[in-house]
Amino acid sequence: METVKKEKRSLGFLEQLYVGEVVKGLAITGRHFFRNLFIHTAHLFGLMKSRKGAVTVQYPEERRVIPAGYRARHRLVRREDGSPRCVACMLCPTICPAQCIHVRAGESPDPAIEKYPVEFNIVLDRCVMCGLCVEACPVDAIRMDTGIVEMSAYDREEFVNRRDLLLGMNPQTPPLPKTRHG
């Protein structure tokens, strides 16, 4: 492998005088200031809406698009008849590194299906959002595509997501939430 040696350039006389370099630095920040100020002012009059004066996303009002494949809050998928697709095979509680999934299996009334989850709890405040449960599931019963990223509660008990809650959640649907980048 070839090694490239970079000469460390010492400052020239003019650079050591600071003044020129100081003016250059001020020119850069000043340029940003006046360009953004101009764009903001134009926005006030409803002009130049296509150009942005700031990269800020004003969070609670505006949201960024959640990209495809983002691991958001979990949900359980239903079959066509509405029963949970989960067959209570215990692969997800087994692989879960945070041990936050608790499944209790029961015998399914459908003779073609062996088991179904009587209880299916995800303790969200222990979850590390690794997505391994989704990977492990053999029947694609658990997904992390709800697009819900805000997870907060006043009580630990509220973090325990039970089966029916998980079954009731929907995937993030297009149209996606409105953003300035969207």
Partner 1 sequence: MDILIILIKIFMMIGFLMVMGLLLTWVERKQSAVMQDRIGANRADILGMRLMGLFHPLADALKLLTKEDFVPPSGSRFIHTLAPFIAFTTALVGFAVIPFGPPIHLFHREITLQVADIHVGILFVFVAAGLSIYGVILAGWSSANRYSLLGALRGAAQTISYEVSIGLSVIGLLMVFGSLSLSEIAHAQGDLIWGFLPRWGVMVQPLGFLIFFTAAVAETKRVPFDLPEGESEIIGFFLEYSGMKFGLLWIGEFVEIVVMSGLITALFFGGWQVPFLYEHGFEFPWGTRAGLPHGLVLTLQVASFVFKVAFFCWFQMLVRWTFPRFRYDQLMRLGWKGLLPLSLLNILVTGIVILVFD
Q: Is 46 in the site for partner 1 (CB under 8 A)?
A: no
Q: Which of 15, 20, 25, 51 binds partner 1 (CB under 8 A)?
A: 25
**50 contributes a contact to partner 1 by CB under 8 A:** no
Q: How far is CA 91 from CA 97, 129, 144, 153, 174, in A?
A: 12, 16, 16, 28, 31
- 8-state DSSP, 82: S
Residue 177 contacts residue 70 (beta carbons within 8 Å): no
| 21: its two tokens | 């370099």
d(CA 33, CA 46): 20
Return d(Cα 108, Cα 87) in angstroms, integer.
9
Between 58 and 152, whose beta carbon lies closer to partner 1?
Answer: 58
Shortest reach from residue 135's CB to partner 1, in Å: 39
Nearer to partner 1, 34 or 135 (CB): 34
Candidates 3, 56, 152, 173; binder of partner 1 (CB under 8 A) is 56
> Footprint of partner 1 on this chain (CB under 8 A)?
18-19, 22, 25-26, 28-30, 32-33, 36-37, 40, 53-56, 58
